[in-house]
Amino acid sequence: MKRVKLIVAYDGTNYSGWQIQPNAVTIESMLNLHLSELLGEPIRVIGASRTDAGVHALGNVAVFDTSARMPAEKISYAMNTRLPQDIRIQDSCEVAADFHPRFCKTIKTYEYRILNRRFPDPTRRLYSLFYYYPLDVENMRRALAYLVGEHDFKSLCTHKEEVENTVRTIYEADIQKDGDMISIRISGNGFLYNMVRIIVGTLLRVGSGYYPPEYMQELLAAKNRQAAGETAPPQGLTLLEIRYL
Amino acid sequence: MKRVKLIVAYDGTNYSGWQIQPNAVTIESMLNLHLSELLGEPIRVIGASRTDAGVHALGNVAVFDTSARMPAEKISYAMNTRLPQDIRIQDSCEVAADFHPRFCKTIKTYEYRILNRRFPDPTRRLYSLFYYYPLDVENMRRALAYLVGEHDFKSLCTHKEEVENTVRTIYEADIQKDGDMISIRISGNGFLYNMVRIIVGTLLRVGSGYYPPEYMQELLAAKNRQAAGETAPPQGLTLLEIRYL
What CATH number does the domain containing B201 carry? Answer: 3.30.70.660
Three-state DSSP class for B79? Answer: helix
Are B9 and A238 an interchain contact pair (Cβ–Cβ within 8 Å)?
A: no
| Residue B66 sits in the same domain as residue B145 | no
User: Rounded to whole angstroms, how far apart are CA atoms A26 and A17?
Assistant: 5
- Asked if A85's CB is within 8 angstroms of B122's CB, the reply is yes
Return the percentage of chain B with pLDDT > 70, whole number.
100
| 3-state SS, residue A39 | helix
Residue A145 lies in a domain: yes
CATH of the domain at A6: 3.30.70.580
The pLDDT of residue A215 is: 98
Going from the first residue of chain A to its last (245 residues), give the mean pLDDT of each consecutive group of 10, the final group possibly shorter. 97 98 96 98 97 98 97 98 98 96 94 97 98 98 98 95 91 97 97 97 98 98 96 98 95
State how beta strands A237-244 and B149-152 pair.
Answer: unpaired
Q: Is B19 in the same domain as B69?
A: yes
> What mean pLDDT is predicted for residues B75-93?
98
The verdict on residue B101 lying in a domain is: no
Counting the structural domains of chain A, the total is 2
Chains A, B: CB contacts within 8 A come to 65
In chain A, residues with a C-beta closer than 8 Å to the C-beta of B238 are 123
What's the pLDDT band for B162 if we cut at 50, 70, 90?
A: confident
> How many angstroms separate the CA atoms of B165 and B170, rounded?
15
* pLDDT for residue B31: 98
B118 and B201, same structural domain? yes
Helices (H) and strands (E) counted in chain A, each on its own, are 5, 10
Q: Is residue A24 part of a domain?
A: yes
Residue of B119, B125, B238 lying closest to A123 (CB–CB): B238
Model pLDDT, residue A161: 81
Give the pLDDT of residue B161: 81
Same structural domain, B135 and B167: yes
Q: For residue range B101-157, list pLDDT tens digits in order.
A: 999 899 999 999 999 999 999 999 999 999 999 999 999 999 999 999 999 999 999
Quick one: pLDDT at residue B163?
80
Specify the DSSP element, H or E, that contains B6.
strand B2-10
The catalytic site residues of B sit at 52
Domain membership of residue B156 as a residue range: 106-244
Nearest to B58 among A56, A87, A123 (CB): A123
DSSP-assigned letters across all residues of A197-215: HHHHHHHHHHHTTSS-TTH
- pLDDT, position A164: 84
Q: Is A39 among the domain residues?
A: yes
Rounded Cα distance, B39 and B62, in Å: 16
Known catalytic residue at A11: no
Residue B115 to residue A10: CA distance in whole angstroms: 16
Kindly report the nearest CA distance between residue B106 and chain A, in angstroms: 23
Q: Which residues pair with A172 in a beta bridge?
A: A187
Residues A76 and A195 in one domain: no
Last residue of a domain, one of A60, A95, A130: A95
The answer to whether residues A153 and A237 belong to one domain is yes
Amino acid letter, B17:
G
Instruction: Please report the pLDDT score of residue A100 as a whole number.
Output: 94
- pLDDT tens readout for residues B42-65: 999 999 999 999 999 999 999 999
According to the model, what pLDDT value does residue B23 have? 93
Q: Which of A86, A118, A119 should one mutate to test binding to chain B, selecting the residue with the greatest count of B CBs within 10 A?
A: A119
